[in-house]
Structure 1
Amino acid sequence: MTDTTRFTGHAALITGAARGIGAATAARLAEEGARVLLTDADPDAAARTAGALRARGLTVRARACDVTDRAAVEAAVAYAVETFGTLDVLVNNAYACSPDAPRFEDEPDDSWARDLDATLTGAYRCCRAALPHLAASGHGAIVSVGSVNGVQDFGNHAYSAAKAGLASLTRTLAGHAGPRGVRVNLVVPGTVRTTAWEGRDAELAAVRRLYPLGRVGEPADIAAAVAFLASRDAAWVTGATLVVDGGLTAVHAGFRQAVRAAGDAPR
């Protein structure tokens, strides 16, 4: 059962909140009592998501925010503090992911820069702008959304490097922010059924077989992990990486399947 009081009196800002993991996290925190600012580079989609949540009686606002723009980030943080009177939680969920070139030597500079700017530097900008307010709240928390791509090779060079960078930023910022009363943690999802996978049901079905728990993730799975790390239930957790991947990186399902197939093959 969801605790509907863990975030009562708290305010949260979520980037990339128009859909998928960001939208599910906004819903989860708001359901638990938070006042939530949904930000996204797509303001119309953010407004639609916020409207749907308000129709359920939840306290949410929406605002356009491109995390590659320092001024936009600082304005969004200022708006959250002005609107809610505090800022207690920051969730870094915005990202960019460019397809790889067939050969690494043909990778263009612009796609590399775009992925790192939105995924890693964008989180840095948000943390920098929010940290003084999170410290002032007395119980501030930052949760960034990483990826198994930052742990193992699943393709997407720039996106993966940026997600790996988030893990390092989580550790270094935890050391800096801890004495200021702010906790900093990272959630590492595996494959999650979001709009990025729309129209790719065959691929999802194939990927599902690699997960020991027998399914891919849902946005709500990640939202629950973010809510835990942002809440008082994780009051003594900082600098941590919480892997939420259905066992993908713990168990080499492909290896097991290959061994079984070889053992069952006629000789």
Structure 2
Amino acid sequence: MVHTFDLTGKVILLTGGYGYLGAAAAESLLHHGGTVYILGRSEEKFQKVFDGHSALGSRLHYQYCDISSTHSIEEAFEEISTLERSIDVLINNAFYLGSFYKDGLDPITITDEEWHTGIDGTLSSVFRCIRGVIPHIEKSDSPRIINVASFFGIVAPDFDVYKEFPELLNPPHYGTAKAGVVQLTKYYASYLGERGITVNTITPGPYPSGAVRENEKFVEMISKRTLLKRIGEPEDLAGAFVFLASDASGFMTGQNIIVDGGWTTT
């Protein structure tokens, strides 16, 4: 029996891997035998999330990387390449939107600067990482690139819900950029296919975290919009990363796996 989900020996780079969903993905990738490098700007946050982890220092590592900087991305990939046999998997999970998390963004009053920052942090950053990893990942026997989009890149927000909770409304550049991530995936899947590099997308649905989860009325309203009548838990998404990182997805490229509880089905 071929161990198609075994990630032993695979070197996996995960941007934004100490966040709510990223940490769960990292845990699952480690559980299946992968060596995981968490790429981010805060070693302090990394240490806080993974403090005492059994794989820390052996198969779990931190690597400084600022996805807004081409130089930082290339430097991070080069450094890991000197430490490992090859880079096998890149997961583009990190993004930034600028002032959104501090102040909220109104779809009417959003400024040019805020728009450009969000597009850069959600779409252009993925492009920079894909471009930067190609010289390294093409040396792998089973190269994989996995991009993370959002169901807001497929459907518009349910404004009946957000009328009551305008502070939680995703701004227009977020969904626009995430739709671009899906197209960027298809483009590079086509371009890199003859090199044996697969490029796929994972599209999460409603996975509220932190203080948002404490808003019981909001959680209840968005739960009703899914076919399963609940919000997503990080563990619901983790398996998709394992599948796309593993040999099980070896003949799959240019695809978008939607893990949204059925939200976008109706």
TM-score (norm 2): 0.86
Which residue is equivalent to 2:91? 91
1:164 offset after TM fit, Å?
0.5
Question: What's the secondary structure of 1:124's corresponding residue?
Answer: helix
- Please say if residues 4 and 248 of structure 2, whose CA atoms lie closer than 8 Å, have aligned partners that are also in contact: no
Change (3 A) 1:41 1:197: farther
Does the 8 A contact of 1:150 with 1:161 survive in 2?
Answer: yes
Contact 1:100 1:107 in 2 (8 A): yes
Q: 1:43 to 1:198 in 2, by over 3 A?
A: farther
Higher mean displacement: 79-88 or 124-133? 79-88
Identity of matched residues, %: 30
Distance 1:90 1:25 in 2: 13
Match of 1:170 in 2: 185
Q: Secondary structure at the match of 2:225?
A: coil
Equivalences, count:
247
Distance in 1, matches of 2:248 and 2:117, equals 36
Number of the residue aligned with 2:115: 112
How many angstroms apart in 2 are the aligned matches of 1:62 and 1:4?
A: 27
**DSSP-derived class of the 1:68 partner:** coil
In 1: Cα distance, 2:5 partner to 2:81 partner: 21
Q: For residue 142 of structure 1, give the secondary structure of its aligned residue in structure 2.
A: strand
**What is the aligned partner in structure 1 of residue 151 from structure 2?**
148
> Which has more radius of gyration?
1
- Could you tell me how far 1:53 is from its partner in structure 2? 3.1
Following the alignment from structure 2 to structure 1, what is the Cα–Cα distance between the partners of residues 82 and 47?
19
Tell me the CA shift for residue 56 of structure 1: 7.5
Give the match for residue 34 of structure 1.
Answer: 34
SS at match of 1:242: strand
Whether 1:15 aligns to 2:36 is: no
Distance, in Å, in 2 between the alignment partners of 1:58 and 1:247 is: 38
Distance, in Å, in 2 between the alignment partners of 1:118 and 1:199 is 27
1:57 Cα deviation (Å)?
A: 8.7
CA contact (8 A) 2:13 2:87 kept: yes
Question: Residues 109, 206 of structure 1: CA spacing in aligned structure 2 closer, same or farther, 3 A cutoff?
Answer: same
* CA drift at 1:196: 6.8
Alpha-carbon displacement from aligned partner over 1:136-156 (angstroms, at most 9, x marks no partner): 102100111100010011142
Question: Counterparts of 1:175 and 1:14 in 2: how far apart (Å)?
Answer: 23
What whole-Å deviation, never above 9, does each CA across 1:194-240 have from its counterpart, x for those lacking one?
33735433311221111111211111222211211121111110000
Name the SS for the 1:137 alignment partner: coil
Partner of 1:227: 242
Is 1:243 aligned to 2:248, yes or no?
no
Provide the residue aligned with 2:164 in structure 1: none
Match of 1:122 in 2: 125
Equivalent residues of 1:30, 1:58 under 8 A apart: no
Structure 1 CA distance, aligned partners of 2:208 and 2:57? 26
8 A Cα contact 1:96 1:159, kept in partner: no
User: How big is the alpha-carbon RMSD for the aligned residues of Structure 1 and Structure 2?
Assistant: 2.0
> Alpha-carbon deviation of 1:96?
2.2
Mapped partners of 2:129, 2:56: distance in 1 = 28
Question: Which consecutive unaligned segments of at least 5 residues does structure 2 have?
Answer: 158-169
Query: What SS does structure 1 have at the residue aligned with 2:232?
Result: coil
Equivalent position SS for 1:136 = coil
- Aligned 8 A contact 1:193 1:219 in 2: no
Q: Name the TM-score, length of structure 1 as normaliser.
A: 0.86
Q: What residue is the counterpart of 2:6 in the other structure?
A: 6
Distance 1:90 1:113 in 2: 25
Q: Which amino acid aligns with 2:24?
A: A
Q: How big is each residue's C-alpha offset from its partner over 1:219-264, in whole Å with a ceiling of 9 and x where there is no partner? A: 122221121112111111000011110000102xxxxxxxxxxxxx
1:135 is matched with which residue? 138
8 Å Cα contact 1:147-1:190 kept in structure 2: yes
Which stretch of the first structure deviates more once superposed, 64-73 or 92-101? Answer: 92-101
